[in-house]
Amino acid sequence: MTDSANSQLQEYKQEFDRICRESVLPILRDFEPVRKKYLRNMILICLAAVIVLYLIYSDFSSGRAPERSMISQFWNIITAIEFFIGIAAAFTVVFAPIITKNEFALSLKKECMKKILKVFGNIKWFDGKKCVSDFYLKDSDLFSEFTNRNTYDSFKGDYKDVNFEVSEIHLFCETKGRRKIIWSVFKGLVIKFGMNKKFDGKTIIVSKNDIMTKRNFSLLYILFGYILITSICSYVNILQFLLSLLLPTVIIFLIHIVYKYFSNRNSDIVLDEVKLEDAGFHKKYKAYSSNQVEARYLITPAFMERFKNLQTAFGTNKIKCSFNEDCLIFAISTWKNLFELGGLFINLENPKQLKKFFDELISIYMMIDYFKLDENTKL
């Protein structure tokens, strides 16, 4: 990062500290009794649910049952009611802390987020709004097919004349039919930068261990996993187990070839693998492009080094990006809950959470400087 970028970062930190002292901390102090109230109510609800579970367990374990038939029928009804109450109590113990935590975090953000973001210039926070649209997600070729999407925190702004959109999202795919199957396609952060130039082709970089991409994924992998598990459960004899896998594996391989052939044939843009000179980078990532010349122009040794460092900075083993049309999209896989101003179980006057929020948000600005996205030269 350049000296000017470091200087800008220090200015942000100083301004952030000032706004926190003057505007945010007083609000957080006022919210501290609210946090304690949320926490107290949650503990009381969970404690009541645990007591109910204990009483029901004691009643079932006693083994008492009436002898007369009429009373016996009444007893069965009472037992059924107790069973359903026990299920409800068990769900309460599990989900009450999660629901309470999320409700508190949202109320805190609505109260404080607008004031905190003043330090970052032209940026707005949205709760649940799709800043990065489904069109860009699908057109990026970074994700396999998805049918459902959950959007959490989203931000939209600009820095050094570079527009950016950030969304914390969870993508799912749901099969149709009687027996629905739902699986996770992506959970993490998507960052879309508007570029000051338009790319001639489409170029993507994906982690090799990420099968949930349009290039690496098909339902055949799930089918293979299903066959593998059922085979293990069905056969004890090793020879039978190996033979049971042989035929399905051959069939899956043939179907996979046909699937790839027709998917490439029906696609408007064919992405071919880019051979990269950096052996270390090639070991972890794969690059595909519809324009080999442009791909080599974009994926320079400097870019590859920055890309690897970005993965380390976010503490993830899955990261991917797409150069397409007039935008650059990064997808960073993480199950961490990002952009939180405070927690239900943490004193709101503790500055650690605010610092964490600052570091997460400022990383977006640092990426613009780090990848030199404001320049017309190559990345």
pLDDT exceeds cutoff 60 at 226: no
**Which of 16-30, 66-80, 153-167, 264-278 has the weakest average pLDDT?**
66-80
pLDDT digits (tens, 9 = 90+) for 21-32: 887 788 888 888
Percent pLDDT > 90 in the chain is 15
Domain membership of residue 228 (yes or no) is: yes
The larger pLDDT score, comparing residue 66 to residue 112, is at: 112
Q: Where are the alpha helices (DSSP H) in 142-237?
A: 219-234
Instruction: Please count the CA atoms within 13 angstroms of the CA of 13 that sit on its side-chain side.
Output: 12
Domain ends where: 201, 231, 266? Answer: 266
Domain ends where: 209, 236, 266? Answer: 266
For the whole model, what pTM was predicted? Answer: 0.75
**Residue 2: its pLDDT value, please?**
57
Domain ends where: 89, 121, 153? Answer: 121
| Residue written as token pair 């649910």 | 49
Q: Counting runs of H as helices and runs of E as strands, what totals does the chain give?
A: 10, 9
Range of the domain at 77: 1-121
The larger pLDDT score, comparing residue 339 to residue 250, is at: 339
**Residue 367: its pLDDT value, please?**
85
pLDDT exceeds cutoff 70 at 279: yes
**Which of 1-15, 38-52, 85-99, 333-347 has the weakest average pLDDT?**
1-15
Domain membership of residue 365 (yes or no) is: no
**Residue 70: its pLDDT value, please?**
47
pLDDT band at 253 (very low <50, low <70, confident <90, very high): low
How many whole angstroms separate alpha carbon 50 and alpha carbon 92? 9
Domain membership of residue 8 (yes or no) is: yes
**Residue 219: its pLDDT value, please?**
47
pLDDT exceeds cutoff 80 at 337: yes
DSSP assignment string, 16-51: HHHHIIIIIHHHHHHHHHHHHHHHHHHHHHHHHHHH
Domain membership of residue 85 (yes or no) is: yes
**Which of 42-51, 144-153, 250-259, 283-292 has the weakest average pLDDT?**
250-259
Q: How large is the average pLDDT for residues 243-247?
A: 60
Q: How large is the average pLDDT for residues 130-144?
A: 88
Domain membership of residue 172 (yes or no) is: no
**Residue 347: its pLDDT value, please?**
85
**Residue 351: its pLDDT value, please?**
74
Short-list 117, 142, 93, CA closest to 24: 117
The larger pLDDT score, comparing residue 230 to residue 206, is at: 206
CB 131 within 8 A of CB 156: yes
pLDDT digits (tens, 9 = 90+) for 40-79: 999 999 998 888 888 877 776 665 544 444 455 555 666 7
pLDDT digits (tens, 9 = 90+) for 80-92: 777 788 888 888 8
**Residue 191: its pLDDT value, please?**
93
pLDDT band at 245 (very low <50, low <70, confident <90, very high): low
pLDDT digits (tens, 9 = 90+) for 300-314: 888 888 888 777 767
**Residue 68: its pLDDT value, please?**
45
| Number of compact structural domains in the chain | 2
Domain membership of residue 2 (yes or no) is: yes
Long-range contacts of 216-223 (CB under 8 A, 24+ apart): 216/144, 217/144, 218/144, 218/256, 218/259, 218/260, 220/252, 220/255, 220/256, 220/259, 222/181, 222/183, 223/252
In the numeric block, which tokens belong to residue 377? Answer: 């030269």
Q: How large is the average pLDDT for residues 194-198?
A: 84
Other C-beta atoms lying within 10 Å of the C-beta of residue 123:
18
| Residue written as token pair 């324009």 | 291
Domain membership of residue 199 (yes or no) is: no
Average pLDDT taken over every residue of the chain: 78
User: Percentages helix, strand, coil for the chain, rounded to the nearest 5?
Assistant: 55, 20, 25
**Which of 26-30, 97-101, 134-138, 153-157 has the weakest average pLDDT?**
26-30
Q: What is the largest CA-CA distance in the chain?
A: 89
Long-range contacts of 4-13 (CB under 8 A, 24+ apart): 5/366, 5/369, 8/365, 8/369, 9/362, 9/365, 9/366, 12/119, 12/120, 12/362, 12/365, 13/358
pLDDT exceeds cutoff 80 at 153: yes
How many whole angstroms separate alpha carbon 99 and alpha carbon 289? 44
